[in-house]
Structure 1
Amino acid sequence: MSSGFNFTGFYATWFDHLRHLIHQLSSTTTAAKENRSSTTDDLRHLVHTVMSHYSDYYHVKSLAAERDPLSVFSAPWATSLERSLHWIAGWRPTTTFHLIYTESSILFESRIVDILHGLRTGDLGDLSPSQFCRVSELQCQTVEEENAITDELSEWQDNVSELIGTRTELTEKVEGLVSIIKKADDLRLRTVQKVVELLTPKQAVEFLIAAAELQFGVRGWGLNQDRERSNNRDGN
């Protein structure tokens, strides 16, 4: 059994558990709106649990990359649609900021009357100037790191293309891909962790739900497309 196949199995289980955790977040948020039975500590605990789940994912992926970097880079666990959107075997870290700004704008517009009357909603539509400043600073730092890793991958690809035909050297170069994959995944995880840290527990819950729903939506659409493509091939 290949390491790529092992990770694919792990991902399926991990993804199912992520759905369960996000359902917990949504249920807790709903309960808080209805009767405020959930405390800040409850929300903080759930956020910590979800972040630990993401950390586990990247830890196992790191081990899989060490065993078979080419398999992990090709991301066999992902759908064709997901792979078309990938940046080094995963989502672009800067996607985090597009999500924050989009969710904040949507919620701000829906609560604008309350906000103009001085009522604080405490959600992502109610980010403080200080929070916006920190998000902007983090975005700039993330863009720089993302670009640096992209340049490193480009250099790696150029070096490998020059070694076609020399099997031993090519094998050694392929092993260098492990470092690039790990750097990309480390940036992905650190970006989410830093964003969550600068949000309130309520805002962090809303952010994690939005991020997961985006992930669920893209994967669901991708699975449907792959299924239709497979059916069309079988029909022909």
Structure 2
Amino acid sequence: MFDVEYGRWLDDGGRRMAELHGGLHAHLPDSDLRAIVDDTLAHYDELFRVRAAAARSDVFHLITGMWATPAERCFLWMGGFRPSVLLKTVAPQLDPLTEQQVVGICSLQQSSQQAEEALSQGLEQLHQSLSDTVANGGSMIDDANIGSFMGYMALALGKLSNLEGFVIQADNLRQQTLHQMHRILTIRQTARCFLAIGEYHNRLRALSSLWASRPREILVADEGNCGELSIPTEPSESQFSAF
């Protein structure tokens, strides 16, 4: 169900990216461009609403990134983008920045990293606790210990339910980061920010396609024989992706 809604969200996002791109190149007044930017931000808010529902129904599907392309999955953090990395990715596209904006973005990046570390440590502790519970759960083939086994499995299920909370907290951090960027930047900078986000993930999706369709000769080439691969750039259906 999430995959269908996410695919629809990507299609709608592609149209919004085209509107942002056209608005910037047409030098629309800030008031007109603001309407497109606000609509794009609301579009992200809708995605986080859909993701929250998906986390409650099947958190494993969301956190493992089965809905994303292979290249995107390499960069997933708790089922989505890492806010601090996103800030590093888009920052060069936002120049010129005022001194106040630089301070604001640096502060946002620092607070994002701290929140990411806290969530990552919490998830690691959950993994360790869950592993210990499963390892000590008795034998499922020994009738004498079946009661103990079921008790441990019930305990493990209770711990697994905490995964939902971690994903939702991570999504809240992602959503807050986008809203904070919107507040720090000008309307035109925010438009460029959304375009940079879309383009970055669009390239990851293109990379996955190129990897899947690479020539068989590359698969058997010597490890030290690395040549450059000339890649023609073509626009894909959508510039939105793994959020």
What range describes the TM-score normalised by the shorter chain of this pair?
0.7 to 0.9
Alpha carbons of 1:227 and 1:177: their partners in 2 closer, same or farther (altered >3 Å)?
Answer: farther
Q: 1:57 aligns with which of 33, 47, 51?
A: 47
List runs of 5+ in structure 1 lacking aligned partners. Answer: 1-5, 33-37, 104-123
Counterpart in the other structure of 1:86: 76
Counterpart in the other structure of 2:225: none
Counterpart in the other structure of 1:132: 102
Alpha carbons of 1:226 and 1:29: their partners in 2 closer, same or farther (altered >3 Å)?
Answer: same
Q: 2:169 aligns with which of 183, 191, 197?
A: 183
1:223 lines up with 2:206 in the alignment = no
Q: 1:154 aligns with which of 124, 129, 134?
A: 124
Q: Distance in 2 between matches of 1:134 and 1:12?
A: 34
1:22 lines up with 2:8 in the alignment = no
1:167 lines up with 2:153 in the alignment = yes
CA RMSD of aligned residues (A): 1.9
4+ long deviations beyond 4 Å: none
Deviations 1:71-91 (A, max 9, x none): 211121111111111111111
AA aligned to 2:187 is P
Deviations 1:172-211 (A, max 9, x none): 1111000000011110111111011111101111111111
Q: Higher mean Cα deviation, 215-224 or 55-64?
A: 215-224
1:206 lines up with 2:192 in the alignment = yes
- Kindly state the Cα deviation for residue 226 of structure 1 after the two structures are TM-superposed: 3.6
Counterpart in the other structure of 2:230: none
- Kindly state the Cα deviation for residue 99 of structure 1 after the two structures are TM-superposed: 2.1
Deviations 1:59-118 (A, max 9, x none): 111111111111211121111111111111111110232123322xxxxxxxxxxxxxxx
Length, aligned pairs only: 202
- Kindly state the Cα deviation for residue 143 of structure 1 after the two structures are TM-superposed: 1.0
Q: Distance in 2 between matches of 1:80 and 1:140?
A: 29
Matches within 5 A, 1:55-134: 55-103=45-93, 124-134=94-104
Q: Distance in 1 between matches of 2:65 and 2:45?
A: 18
Q: Distance in 2 between matches of 1:131 and 1:40?
A: 19
AA aligned to 1:95 is V
Q: Distance in 2 between matches of 1:171 and 1:182?
A: 18
Counterpart in the other structure of 2:141: none
Q: TM-score, normalised by structure 2?
A: 0.79
Q: Distance in 1 between matches of 2:161 and 2:30?
A: 45
- Kindly state the Cα deviation for residue 227 of structure 1 after the two structures are TM-superposed: 5.1
Counterpart in the other structure of 1:42: 32
Counterpart in the other structure of 2:232: none
Deviations 1:22-51 (A, max 9, x none): 01100111111xxxxx21111111111111
AA aligned to 2:97 is L
RCO higher in structure (CA 8 A, sep ≥6): 2
> Does structure 1 conserve the Cα–Cα contact (< 8 Å) formed by 2:72 and 2:201?
no
Alpha carbons of 1:46 and 1:179: their partners in 2 closer, same or farther (altered >3 Å)?
Answer: same
Give the 3-state SS of the residue equivalent to 2:102 in structure 1.
Answer: helix
Q: Distance in 2 between matches of 1:210 and 1:216?
A: 10
Q: TM-score, normalised by structure 1?
A: 0.81
List runs of 5+ in structure 2 lacking aligned partners. Answer: 138-151, 219-243
- Rg larger in structure: 2
Q: Distance in 1 between matches of 2:173 and 2:15?
A: 25
Give the 3-state SS of the residue equivalent to 1:163 in structure 2.
Answer: helix
- Kindly state the Cα deviation for residue 223 of structure 1 after the two structures are TM-superposed: 3.2
